[in-house]
Amino acid sequence: MITPLEAALLPAGIRARHIAGINGLTLHLLEAGHEQPGRPLLLLLHGFPELAYSWRKVMPALAEAGYHVVAPDQRGYGRTLGWSADYDTDLAPFRIFSLVRDVLGLVAALGHRKAAAVVGHDFGSPVAAWCALLRPDIFHRVALMSAPFTGIPPLPLGEAPPPPATDVHAALAALGRKHYQWYYSTRPANAEMWQAPQGLPAFLRAYYHVKSADWAPNRPFPLAAWSAEELVKLPRYYVMDLDCGMAAQVAPEMPSAAEIAACAWLPEAELQVYATEYGRTGFQGGLNWYRCRTSRLFEAETELFAGCRIEIPATFIAGANDWGIHQTPGALERMQREACTRMARVSLIPGAGHWVQQEQPAAVISALLEFLRA
């Protein structure tokens, strides 16, 4: 069995360990503030292609504020065990309800009956949102980061079925483009990134760079509609060239040696942690989350909660230079207007792109603590 992440790789006050028997997983997690029993629990859920390690810059300060702070490697990631990395595996364990069950099992295994808040970034954001929607008795607040949650549409009771939607993917292909989530759902995607011609560390460096505020073209604006004509306005790491894999797509944006040396939010030693972990596991575990979404295999399950909304206090935090807040047209507005009844604030952090808690940790800590103390 693989050991927990080495202490030398972590900031002071954070420890790594495994907990077995959580929804079929042996879950690897980082935690801070664990020395004193009885502290309120604060759960941090990462996205793609990230790890529990992505929260390293904010965990000590949140623990100093009095919380038991826990960040797991989620199903399909890092040093968590018990999931299949096979493309042809059963996708059911990767569907949203199973991911929520993982989080619930973690709460119980830690000896808590409730969490002061659940915080999710990127694909961790919908997991946190569903935790809040399904179990408000356990999760008392929710912070969504970088990926707005649009809620569950109501069932069209008594209404005529809508006309068939235009095939946006065919329209994108006619323009020489494709959507990254549907690319991530293809069989070749894992190998094309894992075995990138430029090498895995260089691929990750370029990918993290191009979605950060360090990449000057990241100047996001709202899109008018979910149409090919609008979606092609997104950067090519979201709406890709039709004949490119992601490694090839981001390769031309590889930062220079000087830019890498100046990157205080992700120095080479920290990038190597990601490269080592993904070098061992590949990306298929995280990619299976996208396949659950794009295949719509489990969409009918969510209809049980059609029209339900998040009723607990909520906040949204993202980088001001993050295209993720606009990649689904209208999502940011629907989250505030429909999905959440008690949305406290939307905080767009200057000087941050998609990796907001790594690029601007002090601002994220401040925003989270303000929300938690309100």
> 196-209 pLDDT, tens per residue?
999 999 999 999 99
Q: Could you tell me if residue 253 is inside a domain?
A: yes
For 253, which DSSP code?
G
CA dist 151 and 154 (Å) reads 9
Asked if 246 contacts 253 with a C-beta cutoff of 8 angstroms, the reply is no
Q: Which of 73, 122, 214, 322 is catalytic?
A: 122
Q: Residue range 268-297: average pLDDT? A: 98
135 in the same domain as 180: no
CA dist 185 and 187 (Å) reads 7
CA dist 89 and 364 (Å) reads 37
Of 61, 134, 45, 28, nearest in space to 363 by CA? 61
| Backbone CA torsion sign across 196, 185, 239, 149 | negative
266 in the same domain as 175: yes
Report pLDDT for 151: 94
CA dist 121 and 114 (Å) reads 20
CA dist 317 and 129 (Å) reads 13
Domain count, the chain: 2
Q: What pLDDT, in 10s, does the model give residues 290-348?
A: 999 999 999 999 999 998 999 999 999 999 999 999 999 999 999 999 999 999 999 99
* Residue where a domain terminates, one of 227, 258, 286: 286
138 in the same domain as 87: yes
Q: Residue range 188-201: average pLDDT? A: 98
Asked if 57 contacts 358 with a C-beta cutoff of 8 angstroms, the reply is yes
119 in the same domain as 43: yes
Q: What pLDDT, in 10s, does the model give residues 43-55?
A: 999 999 999 999 9
Q: State yes or no: cis peptide before 161, omega within 30 of 0.
A: no
204 in the same domain as 330: no
Helix extents (H) in the chain: 59-64, 96-109, 124-134, 168-174, 180-184, 188-194, 200-210, 228-231, 246-250, 257-261, 268-281, 284-295, 299-302, 331-334, 356-359, 361-373
Domain that residue 228 falls in: 168-286
- Residue 1: which pLDDT band, with cuts at 50, 70 and 90? confident
CATH number at residue 139: 3.40.50.1820
145 in the same domain as 19: yes
- Residue 176: which pLDDT band, with cuts at 50, 70 and 90? very high
Q: Could you tell me if residue 131 is inside a domain?
A: yes
Report pLDDT for 33: 98
128 in the same domain as 209: no
Q: What pLDDT, in 10s, does the model give residues 14-44?
A: 999 999 999 999 999 999 999 999 999 999 9
Report pLDDT for 160: 72
CA dist 242 and 232 (Å) reads 12
Specify whether 122 is catalytic: yes
Report pLDDT for 112: 97
Report pLDDT for 58: 98
Please, which residues have CB within 8 angstroms of residue 311's CB and are 6 or more apart in sequence? 136, 341, 342
